[in-house]
Structure 1
Amino acid sequence: MRRPKPVQPARGHRKADASGPWTAHNQLAETGLLHGHTATTHWASLDRCRQQYPGVDWTSDLRISVTGQIVTARDMGASAVALCHGVGRALSAAIAERTYQYSLIQEPGSEALPLLHTLPLRDHRDAPVLEVQEWLETRYAEPLSAKEAAKRVHMSPRNLRRRFLEATGRTLLAYLTEVRLARARALLNSSDEAVSQIAHRVGYADASTFTALFRKHHGQTPTLYRESSRGAAG
């Protein structure tokens, strides 16, 4: 298999130093693997990346960007999610999720991190849909609507629904439900909060509605899931 031809740095710019938040992205860009694709980086490195590697579509709007098997992250928290994603590829999805839940849910602001299991659904180039995905993963605990999501990206709800389904293979509601239930699983594993409290934290005012959805998707109630999950971990 031939190695990709390295992308030549723009004239007048030195190669990157061996330190700084953008070093890993610089090394990846040098291989040519990012050429013609979207990659995310910290805002402080954005101009520098664009100048040195103009063939890459750099952004700082996304916390994580996925192109095939390549994942770029904007900050340390998102990088940890990307590493767990690598664990899933090398070992198993179950081990990756367990690692994610126990290592990240304890960190300040971890509930705003991109979700591990939705990373493959980011492998597309529809920027408005990516923005809505990040919005859903950040605001999942609030009452949300397709109308509000569409307004954020300046399109009609009907058009957003169509493009979201084409890009992710999920409806807006199905995606939001996956996000909420994933957060709930993490909280069930890492805390002793009552099921009703967890339901409220992930966006469900009615605990019975949450329990019914959880049972539908996971084949057991939240309480039984917590017991079996902790029993397996022990």
Structure 2
Amino acid sequence: MNRLSTITSSKIDCSALLRPGLTTPGGTAVSLAASGSPIVSGSLRELQLQPDLSLYASDVRDELDMEVTGMLQPGLLIVLPLAGEADVSYGGQRFLLGAGGAERSGLVVALTRRECFTRRLRRGARRRVVSLAFGTRWLAEHEDVLSAHQGLDSLLDTHLAVQKWRLSARVQALAGSVFELCASSTPLMSLCLESRCLDIAAETLAALTDVHRDPMCVLRPRERRRLAEFRAFLDSGEGDGWSMQALAERIGMSPSTLQRYFRLYTGSTVFAYQRCRLLDHARYALERDGISVSDAAHLAGYTNAANFATAFRRQFGKAPGSLRLRH
């Protein structure tokens, strides 16, 4: 008999997602919202492959709007978004993984201490993500190998240091095969998964070495501070409607440099970030204030309601009018 766990808050701990009766190791409990709806549907696995190496593989559809929170242990986190978009924060840094086009970028996050993370679920959204977490003991045991990779030492020594790189076809194929192995349930599954994860780590380290050969791909502390201030400026709404040239002059960079650095910092282009933020505001106004769809389109910066509806449906998986009907 399945056990039922009812969730009444809009913010939950990540452990609740590991009890939805999907393809989890336990697989005996179901996490439901107060409405009786499941939180996500699809395939979700979290496995401890070594004492200090864990794998998280998620191929799901969000069934509710929620924030999932949790804690990350010190070490190195590799995040590979294979399909869809993932809206996540590590500490105070927010990333829209998979946004802004077909090109897929991976994310490496260094953690020198425990840190919180937040994953935002959007009803109707789909995503396919593989994450690997290497703890400090694993990193120490492989110090000789890791030290051979240029720039990795400085990355590991800085809490919440982040590096992005374009996912190669090989890495995407390796990460995609993780789901096939998880579904096989053979006696050698854990050993095969461990081997696959080490292959992914090797490819990632090689890619990071290539990135660090290009000084333009590395964000120094001063640049991170400037970008944090610039993102706060965007979030305030003061820059809405500004041209790229005006925004670049505001931060004191050329438009091309701003785009490159902002993508490294957030995982998104400036305008893709603005579009997602404004659509979030429009959705909030539709749900909470009951404004009309045309007013929501104007709030999101769209002069054409049809274009707004298309963008809204792409981001949230539903038509803006479906929210308006609640009022």
TM-score interval, smaller chain: 0.3 to 0.5
Higher RCO (CA < 8 A, seq sep 6+): 2
Compute the TM-score of the two structures, normalised by the length of structure 1: 0.46
TM-score by structure 2 length?
A: 0.34
